[in-house]
Structure 1
């Protein structure tokens, strides 16, 4: 129990603020809503930057770079395939209408917890070996890749819907 308290005490306050923001945004997604494109890109941008930051902090290991790139490519492909295919745009406001879903809330919490766990193990400097570094790079690459692929899928759908609306 002392270790858990120590971890929480030594966690920077901005981490808790980020968690609160991710939970709040995830809860908003439970209901149907309309929002501007730039607002839809906040969470993907945060997680993409978190993933890239771990890559930049990893050092010059070719093995860790390869793990990051492979996991990023795999999850980017998955997100491109499963990401938003059709968006509905409110022509008057330019906002994107989205149905309610629990998926963004669950995704936000799972990705945050994975990234947080890796950061804690890294900060504690446990001599577990290269396995933690590999797992950390795989998680970070997967997060960055997924959110990059999701963003590309969303922008592609948005552009296609905008072109259809302009043609009408």
Structure 2
């Protein structure tokens, strides 16, 4: 049996039902060779239709985020906020923070891309590049090292807070993106850009600590020279 295409009047009625009620998604049409079949009348393309579910997926991910993630955010915000004002830092404290942040960023790369050689290489290259660049910049003129107390006097800065938030939100956004679109880990731009971003954060942290240690070494040499004189 051959099925004819509905008239324009019937099409308008069907579109009205589409907007207000559960609706038809196909109409009969005559295919090649006169074989009766159906044809979609849903105006939404498949990609747009699937995208309507993404806000629901995102909401579910946010609602099921473990509470310890928010605890980590509060801790990092507190640690970074302490750097906004001038303070004194010991040698050990200067070293611990870059090591911890480098470990967190490295874990972000491994958790997203596993032991991918390309991702790990991208992380390392970006870190080394930023270390070299930041080491060329001088310390703020107000930075001092007290050799007797083995402490630094540093001015307040927002850089540590921004770096910590950068690592945290990169880790979170990448995790959410991969949960919604697992195929992203195979895209070249994503697989190279994310590790490079993590590496840049780690490199800046490491270089800032290295500059302080370099100041301590220079101050210790000057004190030793003065005592010898």
Q: Report the TM-score, using the length of structure 2 for normalisation.
A: 0.60
Q: Secondary structure at the match of 2:88?
A: strand
Q: Greater shift after overlay, 20-29 or 114-123?
A: 114-123
Q: Note the residue ranges of structure 2 that are not aligned, 5 or more in a row.
A: 1-54
Residue of structure 1 in register with 2:70 after alignment = 16
Q: Distance in 1 between matches of 2:177 and 2:145?
A: 43
The alpha carbon displacement at 1:4 in A equals 4.4
Residue by residue over 1:9-62, the C-alpha shift from the partner in whole angstroms, topping out at 9 and shown as x without a partner, is: 433333322222221122212211112122233331221102322454534544
Equivalent residue in structure 1 for 2:118, among 57, 63, 68: 63
Q: Secondary structure at the match of 1:144?
A: helix
The alpha carbon displacement at 1:97 in A equals 0.8
Instruction: Select the structure with the greater relative contact order (CA < 8 A; seq sep ≥ 6).
Output: 1
Equivalent residue in structure 2 for 1:146, among 195, 204, 222: 204
The alpha carbon displacement at 1:157 in A equals 1.7
Q: Greater shift after overlay, 157-166 or 1-10?
A: 1-10
- Higher-strand-fraction structure: 2
Q: Report the TM-score, using the length of structure 1 for normalisation.
A: 0.78
In structure 2, relative to structure 1, the CA distance for the partners of 1:159 and 1:115 (3 Å cut) is: farther
Equivalent residue in structure 2 for 1:105, among 141, 146, 161: 161
Alignment size in residue pairs: 168
Q: Note the residue ranges of structure 1 that are not aligned, 5 or more in a row.
A: none
The alpha carbon displacement at 1:91 in A equals 4.3
Equivalent residue in structure 1 for 2:173, among 110, 114, 117: 117
1:159 aligns to 2:214 (yes or no): no
In structure 2, relative to structure 1, the CA distance for the partners of 1:46 and 1:116 (3 Å cut) is: farther
Q: Secondary structure at the match of 2:135?
A: helix
1:74 aligns to 2:129 (yes or no): yes
